[in-house]
Amino acid sequence: MIRGVRGAITINQDTAEEIVSASEKLLRNVIDTNKIKPEEVTSVFISVTDDVTAAFPARALRLIDGWTHVPVMCMKEIPVPDSLPLCIRVMMHVHTEQTQSEITHVYLEGAKSLRPDLSVKG
């Protein structure tokens, strides 16, 4: 079964260092919390709000050992008025036997407000 594993994080400012650092924190948290191995991942989609432009968050995935060949794509979120600014979101498509309710979605920093019902401490 392929399941989606979600996560999001906010940054304080649009700099390459902060984008890559926050993205790495988010990705490692999603991977570790759900015990995901790279060979179980079909693809990773990373989206950003319009105000995140200084770097590709996908660079962070390449900093994690074993994730070199996992397909990853960055894209823009729909610019909905009054939506959460400076936000990076991730969706991993993972082969797993876990049920949807057993998946742990990870929302960090200001992104906890997106899904307080699913947020984990981190």
The predicted-structure confidence for 31-70, as pLDDT tens digits, reads as follows 999 999 999 999 999 999 999 999 999 999 999 999 999 9
Q: Answer yes or no: 6 catalytic.
A: yes
**Please, are residues 98 and 112 in contact by the beta-carbon 8 Å criterion?**
no
Give the CA distances from residue 86 to residues 19, 37, 68, in Å, rounded to whole numbers and listed in that order. Answer: 9, 28, 26
Domains of the chain: 2-113 (3.30.1330.40)
In the block, residue with structure tokens 């936000």: 87
Q: Which of 6, 28, 40, 59 is catalytic?
A: 6
**Please, are residues 15 and 27 in contact by the beta-carbon 8 Å criterion?**
no
In the block, residue with structure tokens 């397909």: 71
Share of the chain above pLDDT 90, in %: 90
Mean of pLDDT values over 69-73? 96
Mean of pLDDT values over 3-17? 98
Give me the sheet containing 106-107, strands edge to edge: 72-76, 41-48, 87-95, 2-10, 106-107
The predicted-structure confidence for 88-112, as pLDDT tens digits, reads as follows 999 999 999 999 999 999 999 999 9
Q: Answer yes or no: 77 catalytic.
A: yes
Q: Which of 24, 87, 107, 109 is catalytic?
A: 107
The candidate with the shortest Cα–Cα distance to 88, out of 34, 11, 30, 4, is 11
Model pTM score: 0.93
